[in-house]
Structure formats: structure tokens, C-alpha cells
Amino acid sequence: MKQHPLCTDCENPITPLDLPIPPGLKREWAAVETRRRFLGRSGKVLGWAALAGLFSELGLRGLARGAEVDLPSTGAGNALGLPHFAPKAKRAIYLFMSGGPPQMDLFDFKPNLAAQFNKDMPDSVRGNQQLTGMTAGQAHFPVAPSHWPFGQHGQTGTWVSALLPYTARMIDDLTIIKTMNTDAINHEPAIMLMNTGNMNAGKPCLGAWLAYGLGSMNDNLPTFIVLQTKTNPKENNQPVSSRLWSSGFLSSEYAGVGLRSGADPVLYLADPAGVDRDVRREMLDTVEQINRQTLAEVGDPETNARIAQYEMAFRMQSSVPELTDLSTEPQSTWNLYGPDAKQPGTYAYNCLLARRMAERGVRFTQIYKRGWDVHGDVVGTLPTLCKETDQGTYALVTDLKRRGLLDDTLVIWAGEFGRTVYSQGGLSEENYGRDHHPRCFTTWMTGGGVRPGITYGETDDYSYNIVKDPVHVRDFNATILHCLGIDHSRFTFKFQGLDQKLTSPVPAHVVDGLLA
Amino acid sequence: MIAVDKLTVAIRNLRNRTLSAQWRFTLGLSALLLLLPFTFRLDGQSHADWLQFLGSFHPLLVHLPIGMLVLLPILEFAGANRLGLRESAAFVLYLTVATGVIALVFGILLAYGSGETGATVTRHMWGAIALLIELLVCINIRPSWISGGRQRTYPALLAVTLLTLTWTAHQGGSLVHGSDYLTRYMPSPLKQFFPSASVASDVAYVGSAYLGNIHPIFDAKCVACHGANKEKGRLRLDFYDLLMKGGKDGAVIAPRNPDQSLLLQRVTLSPNDRHFMPAEGRTPLTPDEIAALRAWILAGASPTATSIPGIRTPAVHADLPLQPVGDYSYLMNDIREMQTSEGAKLVAVSAKPSDGLILRTVDVASKFDDAQLARFERFAPFIVEAELGRTAVTDACFDTLSKFTNLRALHLEGTKVTGQALAKLSSLSQLSYLNLSGTKVTSDSLTSLKGMPNLRHIYLFDTPAEAASAVTNSTPTSTK
């Protein structure tokens, strides 16, 4: 309680409420009390009035919905009328290669570049593009062909770099997009655009939209889980922050729950000694009561989110140990995922967790792998990056496929942009660097809803510009939503006077050519 | 205009005339009004600009008589106590008729001048004529009501007049704001009393390129003026048959001959050309839309063809429509109760109820057994996907599952089923996905599934059947 300045007894301030006066008078006093309190209260009253206005509108809208279709819930999103149509994929796993993998060293095979070694890229290719500060000052833009040989794989005969021997094995299952393009040339805006459809922070990411729209498929695990891969200090690790899995203007309940990449995926999961489940339950019930009081007093919807999160945390105390207990995995799992998978925090381990989450009804899992920002020493670091991820990715897709999960799971592999064909810094026979490149990059998807065994779009001879069938980030996201049964143009949330969408107000199109 | 002059003369002299003279005037004016539509026949062609100019004052003029007509019963009612009001009521009545006739004339000028046709505009016109005739009769029978003669006739007729006004005004509102102007923003609880008169489309052509690609263009860009409400140029584009019938200039589509197709000519003119469509500054067709129209006409303008060379059909990936499961709304209360309580749940596949339900057991898998499954029998035909992975169900579950006639996907991975009773699934003609991974299913028991037409994905990972087939088949995990 705040100290009244005129009160001399600081220990026990006397208020009229302590005096032997009629209760009616006390109530009256409590109502007016001090000027400060009066002013404070009147501010709150205005807030309440505004809130009441909001709620009555919401209430009406609820009524309006009630009269439309009587539909059993499909999760939290039932009131939204989602999914709009029968989805091909119920869940998605997003393998995010943060930093920008070099497309021409992995998928976008340009055999004619070898002859161009160390020749300047023609100015006509670059046009009037503004480069990053890292290479804008370069006097020359020498073409750096890929250091690694490519081979044709699968029945489709798709060209894949020798760096990705595992990915090559499943190439017939992939839907490769060579003509992804983005608006941003630097990491933070580009990675925000990929994840939230907007370069500025504050918008919900794909996972949050899905959690909000489609809801959970199980009671015991979060709807949207983020797994970060332990960084390799030898790689150029760009930061990855939690705003990439934030819920933006949606309720915090829909934000991604990040698991730690250490031995303990969730800290302090076990109850401390002497506290059993009942005590914990009782404690949470009391906390909830207090929170409900706060909610009644302040009316902040975030309090609701907090209550829901306490409950989820309680259930995760039992569900997460079960999820991360890999002792029940058969030997065939370890053969498939490789020895890395036994170490928590590795990419392969995260892939294995992603499969286990898919089995347990997690709607959306996003795995972040940092380090793809190869400005220099491509020859030194790219093989490491590929080795760290190639087998895990292959194992995840193969595992999902053999267990019958790939039919209704969409797996996405993407970075935030591509890399330049010209070398950043010095180019030698042995080594080169590559700068950021937003005009084209390669991503792939597989699983529920997409057409396997195709390569979509074409880039020019320098893997610099798109020749045919561009796929903008917004189109990419629209297509992902389509696979999950959502019409991106109708999936909106009113905020700041705008019907906000994942695909932003700029028109976006589902890419039909990618769909099964 | 002559009518107006006559009327003013008539009003001036009305009190002094004999009853029969009044009636004669009424009949004469009524006949004139009735003749108007036949003089200015609404033929769908626009006429002289000055007609349209004058006509555009119709909305301004029309509200004066409406206001006075609404005032009339109030004056009559209040006049019971204050005679002065009743006297003024007579004046208001005359004035209503006079201004009403003027508004009607301007209205007809507007419709005739701008070439409006269609059911709504016709109804609006005839409503106004009927209204004026009723008012003229009112003028005639009011004196006897005032003098205490027939007490019921005049109030009754006034009531009829007000109803006519309401109906006519509604037609006018529909003309200006669209036929759904009243219900469009109505709160949903009210809306249910007005079943939406959704525009019927050519149902027989469902799945065709016409309905998928061509009709939506007309719907978005043309039907506002060439539809059920307005029928400019006597052309309607809201149905295939009407589109092919054409308008006042004949057919607008020449199959296989885009250049001879009037419709295509009109939308590809220079936007400044006065024949350019869509007229009146409405959104022109996009190049893509024009290309689609051209391709469709070139291919024969068929209403049924499903693919047209040159049209990027958004429906290329369209799946075979899912078998609708029927109406389960009578079970909604039970389904909803299930969702709020612990246990297995039924969730909708999509916002379309006929896509069916998914039986989801993941939260209670270890406790979900055959008996629990049997309790879902009454939902059987509506369940299209049964997620029974890692549940406690056994071979006995197939008895229940065989009743899930619309089942498309069945998850039994990690359960105790041995596959002995798998044959019971053979009656499920829709079943396309069967996951038996991690069970004790043997390859022998799978033979009973051979005849199932739609069963394309069987998963046998980590089963004896997988081990057996690995010897003979290099892709053991899924047989497609």
C-alpha cells in the first residue's frame, strides 16, 4: 500500500475503513477516497467503457457466427470457420536454414559457369540493383562457379550437389522451387518477411497464424514448438530472436514455445523435492484464482493467455519428458538419423524430436539451423553445414514417409534468401565468398498437398535473375496455407484498422504448379 | 406535363365541382397515367441526353410526395381533435398527388432515357402508378368520410396506399442499392428469417471451365448492369443460356470466332470509346480475363468443356470432390459436449460439415479401447478419419470400424491389432489410407485388402508383413 504523505505513523497508516463508522459510510469513502484515486479510477472507467464497447461488438459478432454454420470445433479456430476446405496436410514442419544457403552450390545447377570462372559478371545481369554494403564497393564481380560437382539423382534425374548425398536420395519426393524471391537483402528484414510476411517486427509468424487459425490437435503439448540448433562457433551465425516465433498482435497463447537446445529442453521441468503433483495442482489453482481476479479488475486479455500458459506448463511437466525420452526408439531410428541424433541440440536430434512431435499432435514445428551466412570461405564451411543438416533432413522425411505421416505433414526447407554468383572478396581456385541475394533462391517442400518430384521455375545462366515462374515469399506462404486448408485471402485478423493477413496487404497467389 | 397542368387546374376547382366531375377527372388522369408506360416503352435503349438529365432529378423529387404521404395519416389522426389539422390534410393530399405525378413523370424519363429494363424497374413504375391512382380515389372518397358518411372506406384505402408506397419504395431502393440492400448488413440472427435468394448458377455445368473461369468474370464485372435487376441492352450475362441468346444487337458470342464476338469487341475497345464496356467508369476487364474469354470463345464457348487451351485453370489441382457424409446436425450437442470434456473428440475436417469428422484420440490413447470405440457407432457414417494410433484397441475394433462407411483414413499404428479381422474393412469403399505400422500384422492377412479399389496407401513399417515383403519388394514401407 502506498504511504500517505500526511500520515505520521508510517507503520500502521489509519484509513477511515478502520474507524468504527457505519458500513455505508465506509463504502462511500472507499468510493471517493482520494483525488488521486478518483482520477485513476476515472481513467480506468474510460478504459472499461471502451472495452465494453469492444466486447459488445465481439458479442454481436459471436451471435452472428452462431447463426451461420453449426460446426464441431476443429480446434481453437472453430469460430473462424477454419480450415476453409478439407486440408491435405494437418501439420507442418519447417526446417529454417537461417543465413541464406547458396542456391548454386546446392540445387541450382549452372554447368556453364565453369567457363566463366573469374570473369566479371555482365552488368546487364545485375542491372541497377543496389547491393549490400559488403560488396557494393567491389571493383569487380568475378563469377565463382560452384566448387562441387553435381549429379543427377532419382527417377526424375534432378541435379543435386555432391554436398547433399542424403537429400539426393529422396529427391523424387521433393517439390523444389528454384525461383523463390524476396524483397529484402539483409538478414533481419528478410527473415522477418519469410516468417511473418512483413519486414517489420510485430506481426504474427506463420506458426502463430496456424496456432490461432487451426488450433491444437492435442491437450498436452504446445500447438507450435520451436527448436533451435546448437550453433557451431566456426560458422557465421546470424542472430535468431524470439520475435520470429512471436504471436504479434494475436494473443500470446499462439506464440511458438521454444525448447532449449541443451540437455534439458525445458528448465525446471521436474517438481522440486517435497512438492508432489497435488501440491503443484493446488498452487496452480490458487494462482489461477488470483489471475482471474486480475482479469476481472484489469480486463487485459493477456491475463487469459497467462492462465492458459500455466496450465500448458503443468501438462508439459509430464508430456515433455515423455517426448524427449528417446530410449524407446529402435535401432533403426539411430541408423537413419545418424549418431548426431543422440546429442541433444544437434540438428539431427531436433529432426527426430520433430517426428516425435508430429506423432503426438503438435501442429507446427520449426527447426532453426543457423550458420548459412557464407560471406567467405564457402569451401571451408559449406561442407560442414551440409554434413550437419543433410542426414537429419533426409532422416526426418524418410521417417515420416515410412511411418505414414508424410501423407498429412508438410515439410518445408527454406532460408531467408539466396547468395550471389559473384564472389565476395577474393576469388581463387580454392575458395570464394558469396553475398546476400534476394532475387532468386531455392527452397523445397514435401508431403501433404504438394506435388512430389518436380522442379518449379527457372533462373538465368548466372542463377541471378528469374526467367520463368517466380515465387515470391508471399506466394510461398499462401501456398503453405493452402496445403493446410486455409485460403490466405480470407484468413484475416482485424488490427490497427486493417484486415491483417500472413500474406500482407500486397496481393499473393497460391502457386498452383506446386500443388499435388 | 399536360397532366400536371390539368391537375393544378383541377385542384383549384375541385371544391366547386360536382362529384361526378371529380370522378371524371380521376378516371381521366388515371387513364393518362396508365398510358404513360406504353407511350414511353422501356426498350432497353438509351434515348436523348436531356431525358436522362431531367430524369436524374427523379430521386430528388420523389422524396417530397413520400414525406407528405407519410404525413397524411398523422394529420388525419390528429385532426380528430384539432379540426385545423384535418383541413390541412386535404391540402397535403392534393399536393401529394401533384408532386407524385411530377416525380412519376421524371422517373419514367430516367428509365426511358437511360435504357433501364428489368423486372425491378418495371415493378417500381407500376407501383408508382398504382399509388397515384389510389391517391386519386382517396381524394374522391375523402369528402364523404369528412361529412360522416362511409366511415371505413377512406382509412382502409389510405392504409392500402401506405402499403403500396412501402412496396414501391423498396423496389426503388433495390434499384439503387442492389436487391439485397436490406439484408446485406442485417445481423445474422435476423438474417435466418430471410433465406438468401442466392443467385442460382448453371448447376448442370459444375466443374466446367465456363463456371470456373468465365462466369466469375461476368459476375464480377458485368452482371451489375446485365443481370436480373438491370438488363441494359436487353442483355443478361448471369446465365449461360441468356448469355448465348444475346441482347438487342443480337448474339454477343460467336463460338470459335472471338473477333466476331460482340462481347469481346466491346470490352477491348479503347476505354474512351462510348461503346466501351464495362460502361460508366466501372472496373475494366484485366488482360488475363480478356485472354480467358478469348480462349474460351475460340474453343467453342462450350458450357461443359472442362479444360480450355490457353486458360490457366485454377482448378488444375482440384481434387475429386470428397464424398459428402450427410447431415449430422442432430448429433451436434453430443459432439460439442465431447469437445469440452476429457476424452476422445470428434473434430470437423473443414468448415464444410459434409466433409465429415475426424475421431481424435491422442490425448486418451492409452485408455481408448474397443468398448470406447463402440460408443462412436452412432457417429459411424460421419467419421471419415479415425486416429486410433497407439490406442488400446484390438482386433475386435474391426467390427465397429466396418460400420464407418465413409472412412477414408484409418490409423492403427502401434496398436495390438494382428490383422486377423482385416477382411472386415473390405466393405469400406472410401478407405484410401491404412496405417498398420508397428503392429503384428502379417503379409497373409493383407491379402484380404487386395480388392479394395481406393486403398492406395498402406503403411507396414516395423511389422512382420514388412519383414516378409522386404525379401520380395524393394519398397516395403508403402504399397501404392
The reply to whether residue B312 touches residue A512, judged by beta carbons under 8 angstroms, is yes
- Residue A462: its pLDDT value, please? 94
| Side chain identity, residue A489 | S
B44 vs B346, which has greater pLDDT? B346
Which SS3 state, helix, strand or coil, does residue A467 take? Answer: strand
The reply to whether residue A512 touches residue B317, judged by beta carbons under 8 angstroms, is yes
Percent over 90 (pLDDT), chain B = 24
- Residue A33: its pLDDT value, please? 64
A399 vs B13, which has greater pLDDT? A399
User: Which residue among B314, B357, B409 places its CB closest to the CB of A72?
Assistant: B357
The answer to whether residue A427 scores a pLDDT higher than 80 is yes
Residues of A in Cβ contact (< 8 Å) with B360: 217, 361
- Residue A424: its pLDDT value, please? 93
Residues in Cβ contact with A490 at an 8 Å cutoff, skipping those fewer than 6 apart = A84
- Residue A284: its pLDDT value, please? 92
Residues in Cβ contact with A199 at an 8 Å cutoff, skipping those fewer than 6 apart = A183, A184, A189, A190, A192, A193
Least confident interval from A173-187, B295-309, B313-327: B313-327
The answer to whether residue B159 scores a pLDDT higher than 90 is yes
Residue B357: beta bridge partners? Answer: B348, B383
B297 vs B185, which has greater pLDDT? B297
Whether the upstream peptide bond of residue A438 has omega within 30° of 0, thus cis, is: no
Least confident interval from A55-69, A495-509, B97-111: A55-69
The reply to whether residue B362 touches residue A361, judged by beta carbons under 8 angstroms, is yes
The answer to whether residue A271 scores a pLDDT higher than 80 is yes
pLDDT grade, residue A225 (50/70/90)?
Answer: very high
- Residue B390: its pLDDT value, please? 92
Give yes or no for a contact between A249 and A303, defined as CB atoms under 8 angstroms apart: no
Nearest C-alpha of chain A: how many angstroms from B459? 6
Which SS3 state, helix, strand or coil, does residue A406 take? Answer: helix
Structural domain boundaries in chain B: 2-191, 203-317, 329-479
DSSP structural state of residue A112: G
Segment B43-61 mean pLDDT:
82
- Output the pTM of the full model: 0.66
- Which of A96, A99, A77 is closest to A411 using CA atoms? A96
Percent over 70 (pLDDT), chain A = 90
What residue in A sits closest to B414 (Cα-Cα)? A403
Segment A162-177 mean pLDDT:
96
B190 vs B151, which has greater pLDDT? B151
- Which of B318, B333, B326, B390 is closest to B352 using CA atoms? B326
The answer to whether residue B165 scores a pLDDT higher than 50 is yes
Residues of A in Cβ contact (< 8 Å) with B351: 69, 71, 74, 81-85
What dotted CATH number matches B329-479?
3.80.10.10
User: Which residue among B316, B347, B435 places its CB closest to the CB of A404?
Assistant: B435
- Residue A159: its pLDDT value, please? 96
Length of chain B, in residues = 480
Percent over 70 (pLDDT), chain B = 85
Nearest 10 degrees: Cα torsion B110, B113, B114, B116:
70
Residue B258, sorted as left (phi over 0), alpha (psi -120 to 50) or beta, turns out to be alpha
Nearest C-alpha of chain A: how many angstroms from B258? 28
Between CA B459 and CA B477 the distance in angstroms is: 6
Residue B386: beta bridge partners? Answer: B359, B410
B265 vs A365, which has greater pLDDT? A365
- pLDDT averaged over every residue in chain B: 82
- Residue A477: its pLDDT value, please? 96
How far the first Cα of chain A sits from its last, in Å, is 64
What are φ and ψ of residue B283, in 5° steps?
-60, 125
Between CA B284 and CA A196 the distance in angstroms is: 33
Residues of B in Cβ contact (< 8 Å) with A515: 317
Residues of B in Cβ contact (< 8 Å) with A63: 187-189
Between CA A504 and CA B195 the distance in angstroms is: 35
Segment A246-252 mean pLDDT:
92
Give yes or no for a contact between A333 and A399, defined as CB atoms under 8 angstroms apart: yes
Between CA B339 and CA B235 the distance in angstroms is: 53
What residue in B sits closest to A486 (Cα-Cα)? B350
Q: For residue A151, count other CB atoms closer than 10 A to its CB.
A: 14
pLDDT grade, residue B443 (50/70/90)?
Answer: confident
The DSSP H or E segment spanning A96 is strand A91-97
pLDDT grade, residue B469 (50/70/90)?
Answer: low
Residue B360: beta bridge partners? Answer: B345, B387
Residue B410: beta bridge partners? Answer: B386, B434
Which SS3 state, helix, strand or coil, does residue A472 take? Answer: strand
User: Which residue among B347, B363, B459 places its CB closest to the CB of A219?
Assistant: B363
The answer to whether residue B311 scores a pLDDT higher than 80 is no
Among the CATH numbers 3.40.50.1100, 3.80.10.10, 3.30.420.40, 3.40.720.10, which is that of A92-268+330-514?
3.40.720.10
- Residue B279: its pLDDT value, please? 79
Q: Which of B357, B363, B406 to mutate to test the interface with A (most CBs of A within 10 A)?
A: B363
Residues in Cβ contact with B432 at an 8 Å cutoff, skipping those fewer than 6 apart = B408, B409, B454, B455, B456, B457
The DSSP H or E segment spanning A347 is helix A347-359
Between CA B257 and CA B405 the distance in angstroms is: 50
The DSSP H or E segment spanning A61 is helix A35-67
Residues of B in Cβ contact (< 8 Å) with A82: 350-351
pLDDT tens-digit series, residues B368-396: 999 989 989 888 889 999 999 999 999 99
Segment B406-429 mean pLDDT:
89
Segment A433-437 mean pLDDT:
95
What residue in A sits closest to B334 (Cα-Cα)? A72
Nearest C-alpha of chain A: how many angstroms from B317? 6
Between CA A430 and CA A147 the distance in angstroms is: 8
pLDDT grade, residue A3 (50/70/90)?
Answer: low
A interface toward B at CB cutoff 8 Å? 60, 63-75, 78, 81-87, 217-220, 330, 332, 359-361, 401-404, 407, 451, 485, 512, 515-516
The answer to whether residue B26 scores a pLDDT higher than 90 is no
DSSP structural state of residue A492: -
Residues of A in Cβ contact (< 8 Å) with B339: 72-73
- Residue B220: its pLDDT value, please? 76
- Residue A89: its pLDDT value, please? 95
In A292-408, DSSP assigns E strands to: 364-369
Measured over all CA atoms, what is the biggest interatomic distance in chain A, rounded to whole angstroms?
99
Residue A161: beta bridge partners? Answer: A150
- pLDDT averaged over every residue in chain A: 88
Distances (CA, A) of A223 to A95, A218, A226, A251: 17, 8, 10, 13
Between CA A504 and CA A489 the distance in angstroms is: 9
pLDDT tens-digit series, residues A302-345: 888 899 889 999 999 889 999 999 999 999 999 999 999 999 99
Which SS3 state, helix, strand or coil, does residue A178 take? Answer: strand
Q: Which long-range contacts (CB under 8 A, 24 or more apart) does B220-229 make?
A: B221/B278, B221/B282, B221/B283, B221/B284, B221/B285, B221/B289, B222/B277, B222/B278, B224/B282, B225/B278, B225/B279, B225/B280, B228/B118, B228/B119, B228/B179, B228/B199, B229/B118, B229/B119, B229/B120, B229/B174, B229/B175, B229/B178, B229/B179
The answer to whether residue B16 scores a pLDDT higher than 60 is no
Residues in Cβ contact with A81 at an 8 Å cutoff, skipping those fewer than 6 apart = A65, A68, A69, A71, B351
The answer to whether residue A236 scores a pLDDT higher than 70 is yes
Segment A379-384 mean pLDDT:
95
Between CA B103 and CA A285 the distance in angstroms is: 72
The reply to whether residue A81 touches residue B329, judged by beta carbons under 8 angstroms, is no
The three grid cell numbers given for residue B212, joined into one nine-digit string? 470456373
Between CA A163 and CA A166 the distance in angstroms is: 9
Looking only at the bridges linking them, the beta strands covering A466-468 and A458-459 are antiparallel
The three grid cell numbers given for residue A331, joined into one nine-digit string? 535401432
Please state the three-class secondary structure of chain B as a single string. Answer: CHHHHHHHHHHHHHHHCCHHHHHHHHHHHHHHHHHHHHHCCCCCCCCCHHHHHHHCCHHHHHHHHHHHHHHHHHHHHHCCCCHHHHHHHHHHHHHHHHHHHHHHHHHHHHHHHHCCCCHHHHHHHHHHHHHHHHHHHHHHHHHHHHCCCCCCHHHHHHHHHHHHHHHHHHHHHHHHHCCCCCCCCCCHHHHCCCCCCCCCCCHHHCCCHHHHHHHHHHHHHCCCCECCCCEHHHCCCCCHHHHHHCECCECCCCCCCHHHCHHHHHHHCCCCCCCCCCCCCCCCCCHHHHHHHHHHHHCCCCCCCCCCCCCCCHHHHCCCCCCCCCCCHHHHHHHHHHHHCCCCEEEECCCCHHHCEEEECHHHHHHCCHHHHHCCHHHHHHEEEEECCCCCCCCCHHHHHCCCCCCCEEECCCCCCCCCCHHHHHHCCCCCEEECCCCCCCHHHHHHHCCCCCCCEEECCCCHHHHHHHHHCCCCCEEC
The reply to whether residue B316 touches residue A512, judged by beta carbons under 8 angstroms, is yes
Distances (CA, A) of A414 to A381, A393, A438, B230, B344: 18, 12, 13, 52, 36
Give yes or no for a contact between A119 and A143, defined as CB atoms under 8 angstroms apart: yes
Residues of A in Cβ contact (< 8 Å) with B316: 512
Q: Which of A405, A456, A482, A487 to mutate to test the interface with B (most CBs of B within 10 A)?
A: A405
The answer to whether residue B230 scores a pLDDT higher than 70 is yes
Q: Which residue has the cell 475503513?
A: A17
pLDDT grade, residue A395 (50/70/90)?
Answer: very high
The answer to whether residue B471 scores a pLDDT higher than 60 is no
Segment B146-158 mean pLDDT:
85
Query: Among the residues of A376-447, which ranges form H helices?
Result: 378-402
Query: Among the residues of A403-459, which ranges form H helices?
Result: none
Cα atoms in the Cβ-side hemisphere of radius 13 Å centred on B78: 9
Between CA B347 and CA A74 the distance in angstroms is: 5
The answer to whether residue B116 scores a pLDDT higher than 80 is no
Flag whether the ipTM exceeds 0.90. no
pLDDT tens-digit series, residues A19-66: 777 777 777 776 666 667 767 777 777 777 777 666 655 554 444 443
What residue in A sits closest to B319 (Cα-Cα)? A516
